[in-house]
Amino acid sequence: MTQTEYKIYIDDIIRRVESARLKVSGHHIVKIIAVSKYSTTEEIESLYRIGQRAFGENKVQDLKAKAAALEELPLEWHFIGNLQKNKINNLLDINPTLFQALDSLELAEELQKRLLAKDMQLDCLMQINSAREASKHGVNPEDALTTYAQIEQKCPNIQLKGVMSIGAHSKEREVIKKSFETTYEIYKQLPNATICSMGMSGDFELAIECGSNMIRLGSLMFNK
């Protein structure tokens, strides 16, 4: 695809996001995170030239390499993957805009220690395993409110901004919808939360209709 063709392709995705968000309300704003985990720095630059600023990676070493290679560009980096304790310091060295996959109180407490030692604050989302899938990380829905409050109370260097979920792994729209609704119900009960991150290439319209205000698009944004 030429750059012009790519722009037309991206405009079509934006139109899909627009019509989904307008079904919720004209005031419902949705932010797109371009997940670049399958993409090269050249491909990230092409998307940047069309106007995309927020990118996401799910491996600390990839985030580090791409953020370093593109450091002259005013990009926003989101870490959306599972964070192993031995990678915490590497992640903090990159100082991402948002860590979206804080998935336990235990990880939060470890992160808190490192943040305190470095005198840093980090914006995070708590990941909820709304479909209760063994293959997925995240706090179980029934524990979500308690765990969120515990992190807020015990981890002053973590700024919780809301929640993140991956939709149910299913072909049935109703099953996926239920998983998004579960996360949104929890989100609505969190007084200071402003971000509900859910929806990927295959299910973002449904996620937006269920209340998502941040979608994470990988294969679709990069036309893979």
Site for ligand PLP, rule CB under 6 A: 35, 37, 58, 80, 166, 200-202, 216-220
Q: Are 221 and 32 in contact (CB under 8 A)?
A: yes
**Residue number with CB closer to ligand PLP (58 or 212):** 58
Q: Minimum CB separation from ligand PLP for residue 16, in Å?
A: 13
**Residue number with CB closer to ligand PLP (157 or 219):** 219
Backbone angles phi, psi at 139, to 5 degrees: -80, 140
**Residue number with CB closer to ligand PLP (115 or 166):** 166
Q: Minimum CB separation from ligand PLP for residue 80, in Å?
A: 4
| Residue with the shortest CB distance to ligand PLP | 218
Q: Are 10 and 193 in contact (CB under 8 A)?
A: no
Q: Minimum CB separation from ligand PLP for residue 164, in Å?
A: 7
Tell me which long-range contacts 11-17 makes (C-beta under 8 A, separation of at least 24).
13/217, 13/220, 13/221, 16/204, 16/205, 17/204, 17/205, 17/208, 17/215
Q: Minimum CB separation from ligand PLP for residue 224, in Å?
A: 7
Q: Are 72 and 93 in contact (CB under 8 A)?
A: no
